């Protein structure tokens, strides 16, 4: 074939390489194939790649370029997402091909066809004549034939209409009907004549109305912080603004922190709009995720609600991005492509020239800082929806409480009395403890042996219900031993308490009351979560015990008492972000109380009643923003983010000496180079707090710089230096920009 019979393309491959590779494709293809998949031979094996450029300039003759096979003419990486990934690759120092890989659903990464899953259906082989019909004695079979006369019907739909598989199979056996498959309809949401709304929305208050007008009147890129106290109706603002976007024929992307929010949020959007709503989160199967991806890419759905990776879904005519609970740490990916969905969401909004709304009752200090700099516009919601009042606070000084069995499991005598009084009135009580399991760890009373994970520097948590000790780092489990492995004593006892133990204790105290526990041990799927949430909202469960899964976004109007069992564990940490995180979490938890017509209360248990943060939280004249302002002053004095920028340079290996030696040698090289960069500081090599994780040893260096640009230039030089080294297969190197968890 002649050179003119080929098209030259640049391709990125899922490899740890910061470059594109030239290939040629038979035939003429145009710009519509940028973002399409190709099959290429790379280093002797077949790989899936993504086209990034058509007809790039190259130095080699076309005859020297390898061929690639075009798998489809569909662009999976739309232009706006391509820009986001290119920015993300450079900003987070992660290989472009691997960034593209993260953006694709797994089935597409594996080379599967870009198509909906075919749906099993039943159809007539032809119009049955009277002679054939006269031989059929079954009334059900005759009814089914009548149904199929209008065309093929999904077998699932036939089940829902009461037809059994035996009836279907009987017609197939007689040659009257046949099994077939239907493709999912790909009608765009803008093609329907249905009205946008299914239900009439409530009348917004003046603050909500002002926020709706401010966002909806913005026809170009802009970042809004919707700062609403808990229960102030932020979701109603989202719904109203999305309504305006849909009326323009545009689509909306709503990111939520984790699976805990998805069912409730999805149902509220589904009830409001006639437009198809898709969801995308970790509980979906690979097939479900691809179908949701196609729904959005084809324009069938007008709204996508999802967790972090939903950000990379192609959405034609994107008109709005919303990041709910923008402060939440789960928007930050902490391995591989270590991006923050908030940062890349802003980049995507800019590419689409559309507004982005960051919603939170407790905004991150970074977001508040950007408001102060004039980069974001703040919209305030200070009134609880429906006129509900803010809860009252009460602090229980645990030093003055008797050491009862209840207190040993986290529930003081005073709190227990309050729980009894509230449930007797028919109200609901929510107890918050950010520690799952039965007990924190297991100890031998005879020799003091503490049971540790053999794979991590981590205590094994007691999970009594399944008789296991479990590592919450690597998920390794062992059966709870009967004797100590060190001294053979059977005097083993549990220290500390978790949600499982609190739940078991309260069941003995309130045997006739429904008690619900929500944490990652008992909620492992979307269906399980929905079942438990339904029991709470229906009132079947009056006492709810949970971890931070409960703190975010849920609306339980009958909860009148929230108990925070162990605030002390949030107050003392060597992580400079701990006070910010504690203030956010406790404000969010407190906001679950009194969201309906009944007055709410929050009870905080502590051994440190005079702690400054506790007293700020319970002071009605001190808001979260007041606390944030004080924390920002401290950060500025100490030259900590957001007044500076940070990055970790990381290494880990199954051999401790290898991980340390590599990073220490790199530190020696970088120490001299760092002097070339103004206002940049590099720490010596340190071990992580949990040095051993999953049988690998972790070390790091911390880089701090006043200038974002200078930091990025330095990190690029670090990456280039490492790329020239020959690393052992066992050694892993990474750069983490803007870490939110300190090593």
pLDDT in tens, 300-356: 999 999 999 999 999 999 999 999 999 999 999 999 999 999 999 999 999 999 999
Give SS3 for 557. Answer: coil
Instruction: Evaluate whether residue 327 is within a structural domain.
Output: yes
Looking at the structure, tell me whether residues 252 and 210 fall in a common domain: yes
pLDDT of residue 489 exceeding 90? yes
HSE value, Cβ hemisphere, 13 Å, CA-based, for 687 = 13
**Mean pLDDT within 605-620:** 92
Q: Are 9 and 51 in contact (CB under 8 A)?
A: yes
Tell whether 453 is in a known binding site.
Answer: yes
How far apart are the C-alpha atoms of 675 and 171, rounded to whole Å? 82
The two three-digit tokens of residue 212, written as one number: 């709706």
How far apart are the C-alpha atoms of 166 and 16, rounded to whole Å? 54
User: Which residue is listed with tokens 């005519």?
Assistant: 317
Range of the domain at 343: 190-386
Share of residues in the chain with pLDDT > 70 (%): 95
- Preceding omega of 147 cis (within 30 degrees of 0): no
pLDDT of residue 260 exceeding 60? no
Tell whether 125 is in a known binding site.
Answer: no
Q: How confident is the model at residue 149 (pLDDT cuts 50, 70, 90)?
A: confident
What are the beta bridge partners of residue 394? 603
Instruction: Evaluate whether residue 318 is within a structural domain.
Output: yes
* Distant-in-sequence, close-in-space partners of 171: CB < 8 Å, separation ≥ 6: 122, 141, 144, 145, 177
Domain count, the chain: 5
Looking at the structure, tell me whether residues 196 and 320 fall in a common domain: yes
Q: How confident is the model at residue 184 (pLDDT cuts 50, 70, 90)?
A: low
Higher pLDDT, 391 or 503: 503
Handedness of CA 499, 504, 509, 515 (dihedral sign): positive
Q: Name the DSSP letter for residue 456.
A: S
pLDDT of residue 415 exceeding 80? yes
CATH of the domain at 675: 3.30.70.600
Instruction: Evaluate whether residue 511 is within a structural domain.
Output: yes
Tens-place pLDDT, residues 457-471? 999 999 999 999 999
Looking at the structure, tell me whether residues 365 and 219 fall in a common domain: yes
End-of-domain residue from the set 608, 635, 662: 635
Q: How confident is the model at residue 183 (pLDDT cuts 50, 70, 90)?
A: low
Looking at the structure, tell me whether residues 141 and 61 fall in a common domain: no
HSE value, Cβ hemisphere, 13 Å, CA-based, for 661 = 9
pLDDT of residue 262 exceeding 60? no
Looking at the structure, tell me whether residues 72 and 172 fall in a common domain: no
How far apart are the C-alpha atoms of 363 and 426, rounded to whole Å? 34
Write the DSSP assignment of 538-552 as a string of letters: TTS--EEEESGGGSS
Count the Cβ atoms, other than its own, within 10 Å of residue 691.
Answer: 18
Tell whether 456 is in a known binding site.
Answer: yes
Instruction: Evaluate whether residue 463 is within a structural domain.
Output: no
Tens-place pLDDT, residues 194-212? 678 878 889 999 999 999 9
pLDDT of residue 134 exceeding 90? no
pLDDT of residue 485 exceeding 90? yes
CATH of the domain at 627: 3.40.50.300
Identify the pLDDT of residue 2.
67
Identify the pLDDT of residue 557.
83
The CA-atom distances, in angstroms, between 404 and each of 494, 541, 544 are 16, 25, 21
Identify the pLDDT of residue 199.
80
Q: Name the DSSP letter for residue 135.
A: T
The two three-digit tokens of residue 187, written as one number: 């009608």
With b for 16 or more beta-carbon neighbours within 10 A and e for fewer, the 33-65 pattern comes to bbbbbbbbebeeeebbbbbbbbeeeeeeeeeeb
Handedness of CA 489, 491, 496, 500 (dihedral sign): positive
Count the Cβ atoms, other than its own, within 10 Å of residue 253.
Answer: 27
Instruction: Evaluate whether residue 483 is within a structural domain.
Output: no
How far apart are the C-alpha atoms of 36 and 111, rounded to whole Å? 11
Q: Are 422 and 559 in contact (CB under 8 A)?
A: no
pLDDT of residue 180 exceeding 80? yes
The two three-digit tokens of residue 100, written as one number: 């593209």
pLDDT of residue 116 exceeding 70? no
End-of-domain residue from the set 325, 360, 386: 386
pLDDT of residue 444 exceeding 60? yes
Looking at the structure, tell me whether residues 361 and 232 fall in a common domain: yes
Looking at the structure, tell me whether residues 623 and 521 fall in a common domain: yes
* Distant-in-sequence, close-in-space partners of 495: CB < 8 Å, separation ≥ 6: 439, 440, 441, 442, 443
The two three-digit tokens of residue 652, written as one number: 């880990």
pLDDT of residue 60 exceeding 90? no
Tell whether 444 is in a known binding site.
Answer: yes
How far apart are the C-alpha atoms of 123 and 490, rounded to whole Å? 68
pLDDT of residue 20 exceeding 80? yes
| Cα-trace Rg, the chain | 29
**Mean pLDDT within 294-299:** 91
Q: How confident is the model at residue 553 (pLDDT cuts 50, 70, 90)?
A: low
pLDDT of residue 104 exceeding 80? yes
Looking at the structure, tell me whether residues 717 and 570 fall in a common domain: no
Identify the pLDDT of residue 339.
98
Looking at the structure, tell me whether residues 573 and 687 fall in a common domain: no
Looking at the structure, tell me whether residues 251 and 306 fall in a common domain: yes
Looking at the structure, tell me whether residues 397 and 365 fall in a common domain: no
Tell whether 447 is in a known binding site.
Answer: yes
The mean predicted confidence, pLDDT, of the chain is 91
How far apart are the C-alpha atoms of 699 and 743, rounded to whole Å? 8
Tell whether 33 is in a known binding site.
Answer: no
End-of-domain residue from the set 366, 386, 406: 386
Instruction: Evaluate whether residue 290 is within a structural domain.
Output: yes
Higher pLDDT, 63 or 627: 627
Q: Which helix (H) or strand (E) holds 357?
A: strand 355-360
**Mean pLDDT within 12-39:** 92
Identify the pLDDT of residue 192.
63
Continuous H helices in 591-704: 612-618, 624-637, 656-674
Instruction: Evaluate whether residue 667 is within a structural domain.
Output: yes
In the chain the first and final C-alpha atoms are separated, in Å, by 56
With b for 16 or more beta-carbon neighbours within 10 A and e for fewer, the 314-336 pattern comes to bbeebbbbbbbbbbbbbbbbeee
How far apart are the C-alpha atoms of 687 and 666, rounded to whole Å? 15
Q: Which helix (H) or strand (E) holds 171?
A: helix 165-173
**Mean pLDDT within 518-530:** 81
**Mean pLDDT within 232-236:** 92
Higher pLDDT, 81 or 116: 81
**Mean pLDDT within 625-639:** 96
pLDDT of residue 190 exceeding 80? no
Instruction: Evaluate whether residue 501 is within a structural domain.
Output: yes
Tell whether 354 is in a known binding site.
Answer: no
Looking at the structure, tell me whether residues 268 and 327 fall in a common domain: yes
How far apart are the C-alpha atoms of 590 and 624, rounded to whole Å? 12
Q: What is the 3-state secondary structure (H, E, C) of 192-246?
A: CCCCCECCCCCCCCHHHHHHHHHHHCCCCCEEEEEEECCCCCHHHHHHHHHHHHH
**Mean pLDDT within 283-295:** 87
Q: What is the 3-state secondary structure (H, E, C) of 659-677?
A: HHHHHHHHHHHHHHHHCCC
């Amino acid at each position: 074939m002649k050179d003119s019979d080929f098209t030259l393309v640049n391709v990125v491959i899922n490899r740890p390489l910061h470059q594109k590779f030239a290939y040629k494709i038979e035939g003429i293809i145009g710009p519509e194939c940028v973002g399409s998949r190709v099959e290429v031979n790379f280093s002797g094996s077949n790989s899936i790649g993504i086209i990034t450029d058509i007809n790039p300039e190259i130095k080699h003759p076309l005859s020297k370029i390898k061929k690639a096979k075009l798998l489809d003419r569909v662009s999976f990486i739309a232009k706006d997402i391509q820009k986001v990934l290119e920015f993300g690759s450079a900003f987070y120092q992660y290989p472009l091909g691997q960034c593209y890989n993260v953006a694709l659903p797994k089935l597409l990464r594996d080379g599967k066809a870009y198509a909906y899953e075919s749906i099993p259906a039943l159809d007539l082989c032809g119009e049955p004549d009277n002679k054939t019909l006269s031989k059929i004695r079954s009334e059900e079979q005759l009814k089914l034939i009548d149904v199929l006369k209008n065309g093929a019907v999904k077998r699932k739909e036939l089940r829902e209409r009461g037809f059994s598989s035996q009836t279907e199979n009987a017609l197939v056996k007689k040659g009257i009907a046949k099994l077939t498959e239907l493709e999912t309809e790909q009608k765009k949401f803008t093609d329907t004549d249905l009205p946008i709304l299914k239900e009439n929305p409530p009348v917004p208050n003046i603050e909500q109305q002002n926020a709706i007008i401010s966002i909806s009147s913005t026809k170009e890129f802009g970042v809004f912080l919707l700062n609403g106290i808990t229960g102030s109706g932020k979701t109603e603002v989202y719904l109203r603004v999305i309504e305006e976007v849909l009326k323009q024929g545009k689509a909306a992307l709503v990111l939520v922190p984790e699976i805990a929010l998805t069912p409730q949020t999805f149902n509220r959007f589904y009830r409001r709009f006639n437009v198809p709503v898709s969801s995308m989160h970790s509980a979906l199967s690979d097939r479900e995720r691809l179908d949701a991806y196609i729904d959005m890419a084809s324009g069938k759905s007008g709204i996508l609600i999802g967790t972090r990776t939903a950000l990379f879904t192609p959405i034609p005519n994107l008109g709005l991005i919303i990041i709910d609970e923008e402060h939440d740490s789960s928007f930050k990916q902490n391995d591989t492509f270590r991006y923050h969905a908030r940062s890349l969401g802003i980049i995507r909004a800019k590419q689409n020239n559309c507004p982005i709304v960051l919603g939170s009752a407790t905004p991150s200090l970074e977001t508040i800082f950007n408001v102060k700099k004039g980069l974001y516009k703040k919209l305030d919601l200070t009134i609880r929806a429906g006129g509900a009042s803010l809860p009252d606070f009460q602090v229980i000084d645990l030093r003055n409480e008797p050491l009862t069995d209840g207190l040993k499991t986290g529930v003081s005598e005073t709190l227990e009395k309050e729980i009894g009084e509230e449930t007797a009135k028919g109200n609901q009580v929510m107890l918050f403890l950010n520690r799952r399991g039965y007990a924190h760890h297991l100890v031998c009373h005879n020799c003091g042996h503490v049971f540790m994970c053999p794979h991590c520097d981590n205590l094994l948590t007691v999970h009594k219900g399944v008789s296991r000790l479990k590592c919450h780092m690597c998920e390794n489990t062992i059966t709870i031993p009967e004797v100590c492995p060190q001294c053979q004593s059977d005097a083993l006892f549990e220290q500390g308490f978790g949600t499982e133990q609190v739940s078991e204790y309260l069941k003995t105290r309130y045997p006739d009351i429904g008690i619900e526990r929500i944490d990652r041990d008992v909620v492992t799927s979307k269906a399980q979560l929905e079942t438990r949430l339904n029991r709470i909202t229906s009132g079947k469960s009056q006492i709810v015990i949970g971890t931070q899964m409960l703190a975010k976004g849920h609306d339980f109007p009958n909860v009148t008492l929230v108990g925070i069992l162990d605030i002390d564990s949030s107050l003392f940490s060597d992580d400079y972000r701990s006070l910010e995180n504690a203030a956010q979490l406790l404000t969010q938890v407190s906001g679950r109380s009194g969201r309906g017509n009944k007055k709410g209360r929050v009870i905080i248990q502590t051994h440190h009643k005079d702690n400054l943060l506790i007293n700020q939280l319970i002071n009605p004249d001190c808001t979260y923003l007041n606390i944030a302002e004080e924390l920002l002053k401290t950060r500025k004095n100490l030259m900590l983010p957001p007044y500076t920028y940070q990055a970790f340079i990381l290494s880990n290996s199954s051999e401790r000496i290898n991980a340390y030696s590599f990073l220490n040698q790199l530190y020696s090289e970088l120490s001299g180079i760092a002097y070339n960069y103004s206002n940049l500081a590099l720490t010596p090599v340190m071990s992580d707090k949990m040095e051993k994780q999953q049988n690998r040893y972790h070390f790091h260096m911390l880089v701090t710089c006043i200038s974002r640009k200078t930091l990025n230039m330095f990190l690029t030089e670090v990456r280039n230096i490492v790329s020239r080294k020959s690393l052992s297969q066992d050694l892993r190197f990474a750069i983490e920009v803007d870490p939110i968890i300190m090593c």
